[in-house]
Amino acid sequence: MASAETDSKSLFSLESYHVSEEHGFILPEPLEELPPYYKPWMDIALRVPELVHSHELRSHVNKMPLLSSTFLQKHRELRLAHLALSMMTMGYIWQEGEKNTILPQNLAVPYWEVSQRLGLPPIITHADAVLANWKKKDPDGPFNMQNLELLVRLPGGESVRGFFLVTLLVELAGVPAVRSIPTVINGVRCSDTEAVARGLEIISKSIEDMTDALRLMQVYVDPSVFYGIMRIYLSGWKDNPCMPKGLIYEGVQTEPMEYSGGSAAQSSLLHCFDELLGVKHEPKSASFLIRMRDYMPPLHKKLIQDISLQPSLRNFVQQQDCKDLNKAFDLCVTKLLALRSYHINVVSRFITVPAARARQLREQNHDSDGEIISRAPTALEERGTGGSGIMSFLKTVNRNWKWVAIGQTVFTSWGSD
């Protein structure tokens, strides 16, 4: 059991990382409005889908006044501003498909300033579109699909709502796991096998709930709409053949800058699990995942780094002669493998299969005007919105998990996927 000499001040805690006991990495109660000075931003941000559809977004943005970010004082104000400016930017860049442009000064400069203050990049991130982009229709009602709405949207209709809100529910399902990370770390520090096993059991159940939440994606998102309409608006300008040199942010610097688009790899949840369970990725995958941490709120990134500095959970489990502890650890790995495997299934359904269909239509010179999937840029067919070679990346990450478990039900070899 825990040592009586354990100094409570040295206990690992989530208090200093902007992680909520109730909401985890989700921003609690995001603001819906900015101060009146910023009305020109919100007026356009709330109309991005219709203005893109009518090809009028760029003209509206070009007429927008250049506003100072100095009147944004609170964290939630900065997060809503970043969300609004992100939505405008993605709509502005991709309104005309793969035809390149620059980001005008009246959008680029305040976007850069807000990004610098938050420690986020000037492009849409998971922290914007998912973690800070929600409200309850009934403030006292449940946190579910029926009672949730987005603050701002990209083109794609109800599938956009479904995509971001289902992802939000996956984050919410992971909250008990996040809350249990300190229990596991502190248990390892003071050799409390019961506390570690108890924490791991909670994490396993939470990960199972995350997988169940992810299954809602097939209910609320149309794969053809995601692939043919939504996906380009989540795409960035790094490792993107459409924009090989990146994007010029006018008034910020004269040379183009490269940033990856929104990606599930920017969720802090799985990064925390990787570090807690001691997963080591192959160099190429590891490099991409580490880079994705620069797209997280800085304190969330610091939490991941601090978890990596703790005594090894895997070594602790191996050193204990405790079947229950081994079983709890291996169950965590099994549940994580199930989650990652299901994610691969989702990616196949929403990207790989539609991409194959789009290629087939092109090769057959099919009259594809009525096919939504044919609207997607060909340059993104094999890539995730974050710029990764998507299926090979996900399968490599999954193979690394198969190496981690310890007990009798272990995944001891990499195997094939």
Tens-digit pLDDT profile for residues 25-60:
999 999 999 999 999 999 999 999 999 999 999 999
| Whole-number Cα distances in Å, 228 to 224, 319, 370 | 6, 51, 11
> What residues have CB less than 8 Å from 287, skipping those under 6 apart?
none
Distance, in Å, from the CA atom of 266 to the CA atom of 297, rounded to the nearest integer, reads 10
What pLDDT was estimated at residue 374? 58
What pLDDT was estimated at residue 10? 82
The confidence band for 370, taking pLDDT boundaries of 50, 70 and 90, is very low
The confidence band for 238, taking pLDDT boundaries of 50, 70 and 90, is very high
What pLDDT was estimated at residue 359? 74
Task: Give the residue-averaged pLDDT of 226-234.
Answer: 92
Domain parsing of the chain, residue ranges: 36-403
55 is in an annotated binding site: no
**Which CATH code, of 1.10.3720.10, 3.30.1490.20, 1.20.58.480, 2.40.30.10, is assigned to 36-403?**
1.20.58.480
Within a 10 A sphere around the Cβ of 1, how many other Cβ atoms? Answer: 10
